[in-house]
Amino acid sequence: MKKNRATMADVAKVAGVSRQLVGFVFQGKSGFSPEAAARVHKAAQQLGYRPNLAAQSLRRDSTKIIGVVFDPRESSPLEIIQSLYKVAANLGYEVILSAIGDDRDEDEAIHELIGYRCEGLILIASRLAEAKLVGLATEIPFISIGRQLDVSIADSVSSDGAMGLGLVVDHLAVLGHSDIAYINATTMLDADSRLKGFVDSATRHKLNHRIIDVASDYTEESGAAAAQLLLASASLPTAVACSNDQQALGLISALRVAGISVPDQVSVVGYDDSRVARFSFMSLTTVHQDAVELAEIALNRLIERISKPTLAAQASLTSVSLVQRKSVVAKSL
Amino acid sequence: MKKNRATMADVAKVAGVSRQLVGFVFQGKSGFSPEAAARVHKAAQQLGYRPNLAAQSLRRDSTKIIGVVFDPRESSPLEIIQSLYKVAANLGYEVILSAIGDDRDEDEAIHELIGYRCEGLILIASRLAEAKLVGLATEIPFISIGRQLDVSIADSVSSDGAMGLGLVVDHLAVLGHSDIAYINATTMLDADSRLKGFVDSATRHKLNHRIIDVASDYTEESGAAAAQLLLASASLPTAVACSNDQQALGLISALRVAGISVPDQVSVVGYDDSRVARFSFMSLTTVHQDAVELAEIALNRLIERISKPTLAAQASLTSVSLVQRKSVVAKSL
DNA sequence: CTAAAATACTAGCACGTGCTAGTATTTTCT
DNA sequence: AGAAAATACTAGCACGTGCTAGTATTTTAG
């Protein structure tokens, strides 16, 4: 038997107080003297005591745990996870991650989190069928990040893709580009709003524009495929807007392999402002979404829903901004 | 109070049996009739019962939980996580992930996992100071993946970097390359063994070789920096070996921006066989490491150590192989 | 100076499950 | 046919903590 890790009782014994007092000290409640608290802290330190989170979760009225489902194969969720930890800690919640992958689907990841009695779930870039989401909503409060849901299903938060692509097209128009393209990753989540933002804005500016539809598991590959389509067309556009940064990486790489210079011959814009965009060989002008803002809205909304389950669902959009780097230049005459 | 989730007692009531029998059925133990089991399963289904993992962990002699610390900002850990889930499930263990990030250091991630009373930890690509690792070893069994440790500290598993770069240089030599370079990411974990493998093998083949030292937070950036150094040198090597695939991406991209063709003018080899290597515009010849093998060795070793804490530590190396794609061609005469 | 109130604690049950020890009932053995 | 053994269950304690309800001791109020 190796139950050697210290418990509250061990700490209490060493500190010469009752077990309950140790609990009060660790919960930061009132009702103890500073001297006693000091003795408790010293004893805890000495024994290497850590509260048993399983026991806390079991005993508490609310477990104070939020479950997060994510796909490590995609890059955008990863930036959000960091923000979720930070924001959750401020709100007094623990976060438990559950990854999906080739051998582990979302159902399995969700069931594990329910096993830990999470009070609510955050699904990042979920591809779960709508019917399953509706069923899940009857089981546990959740919110979707990066996939906008109909308000009849559940809460969701996304960056404002329509506005983001509006900013992109505005920028291109100001720089004199009048023949532009949008690379539409058809299987990407929230693809529709980004596409709509592009089309609406291009139409408003009366720009000559085309849509290149591509579908691929690897997003970078979709960019490369789009590059081939563009190269095979009668003439290249002077600027290309992409669905996301990874796609832009594939597009730019494939164009350069073909001897096309970016940005001299073709300007390229991304979306997400992920780490890819900051590479020196990319220096990608892109739409920035604030991961902290996304995490804050998601968690606050989720916690609100946990306490008021009857709340009407809403689809929130976070603000976006254009980060100008060097992948876009004014149209050469 | 919202303690509405079903417990074993609820299931037992509906099935018309004792709570203990429900436990037996879910643990797959013997000692119950098929009819009773069927009633239990039906009741559980109907109530949407899921075992409370916190309660299990609390009550069990061993929690059957393995904690995994990883950094979502790096890409190689992510492929391993998927394998860990799979292998752990086969061995009857749960996995809890704990991410580190800008606002969350390894200490914090580890303490959370200890809070869940993990029986052991897996540190992926850990950068914890040796002194801290030594201290940690007295607290809890752990194994390091992707960072080789001195056996006086703790167990570790890495891919065999020396052998991997041996394979790379052999391959280049066979193809007639006699002027080769290695891009050495000095701050990368396990950099030394890869460097040594390159130097030893190049020396053995009597090849003209040079080492380009680069240091960077973003690995891709180190490749781009190396490209600038190569371009500034008197002559380009005919082949370049990189410390990892992401670095190769940066190197190739920067070379192409400068008008150098890969592989026609310079062949490039990566390391890791990550998803980057499979992009069509990369088609990177690279050293493959088997994530499943890594996960299996790590978990088996860790579980062995959990049951026998006095076991001597060892530094394991997994097998590697060369995946030939299109970024390497024979030296043109 | 006594009563009330605040302070500084302690007692004990409960959370949902695993585990050891029981108790009927049926089956097998000689 | 009677005893032993296997089968199919049930009882009850325990894990480490949170929470409600206490009990001394000190401080404040009138």
Query: Residues A304-322: pLDDT tens digits?
Result: 999 998 999 999 999 999 9
Query: Among partner residues A5, A72, A224, which is closest to B78 by beta-carbon distance?
Result: A72
In the predicted model, what is the mean pLDDT of residues A35-48? 93
To the nearest whole percent, how much of chain B has pLDDT over 90? Answer: 88
Q: How far does Cα B217 stand from its chain's mean position?
A: 19
Query: Residues A134-189: pLDDT tens digits?
Result: 999 999 999 999 999 999 999 999 999 999 999 999 999 999 999 999 999 999 99
pLDDT at B2: 45
| B247/chain A closest Cα distance in angstroms | 11
Mention every residue, 6+ apart, whose C-beta is less than 8 A from residue B30.
B24
d(CA A137, CA A142): 7
**Are residues A54 and B221, on separate chains, in Cβ contact within 8 Å?**
no
pLDDT above 80 (res B332): no
Query: Hey, is B124 helix, strand or coil?
Result: strand
**Are residues A257 and B257, on separate chains, in Cβ contact within 8 Å?**
no
DSSP codes of every residue in B126-189: ----HHHHHHHHHHS-EEEESS---TTT-EEEEE-HHHHHHHHHHHHHHTT--EEEEEEETTST
Residue type, B279: F
SS3 annotation, chain A: CCCCCCCHHHHHHHHCCCHHHHHHHHHCCCCCCHHHHHHHHHHHHHHCCCCCHHHHHHHCCCCCEEEEEECCCCCHHHHHHHHHHHHHHHCCCEEEEEECECCECHHHHHHHHHHCCCCEEEEECCCCCHHHHHHHHHHCCEEEECCCCCCCCCEEEEECHHHHHHHHHHHHHHCCCCEEEEEEECCCCCHHHHHHHHHHHHHHCCCEEEEEEECCCCHHHHHHHHHHHHHHCCCCCCEEEECCHHHHHHHHHHHHHCCCCCCCCCEEEEEECCHHHHCCCCCCEEEEECHHHHHHHHHHHHHHHHHCCCCCCCEEEECEEEECCCCCCCCCC
| A15/chain B closest Cα distance in angstroms | 21
- Chain B residues with CB inside 8 Å of A53's CB? 54, 112, 115-117
For residue B2, the number of C-alpha atoms closer than 13 Å in the C-beta half-sphere is: 13
Residue type, A239: A
B292 touching A, CB under 8 A? Answer: no
Query: Residues B284-330: pLDDT tens digits?
Result: 999 999 889 999 999 999 999 999 989 999 999 999 999 999 999 99
pTM across the whole model: 0.93
pLDDT at A224: 97
- Chains A and B form CB pairs within 8 A to the count of 142
d(CA A111, CA A49): 30
pLDDT above 70 (res A200): yes
Cα dihedral A142, A143, A144, A146, rounded to 10, equals -150
In the predicted model, what is the mean pLDDT of residues A185-204? 97
Residue nearest to nucleotide D19 (CA to C1'): A60
- Go through B160-177 and write b for each residue having 16 or more CB atoms within 10 A of its CB, e for each that does not: bbbbbbbbbbebbbeeeb
Going by pLDDT thresholds of 50, 70 and 90, the confidence category of residue A1 is: very low
Give B 71-110 residues with CB within 8 A of chain A.
72-73, 78, 81-82, 85-86, 94, 96-99, 101-104
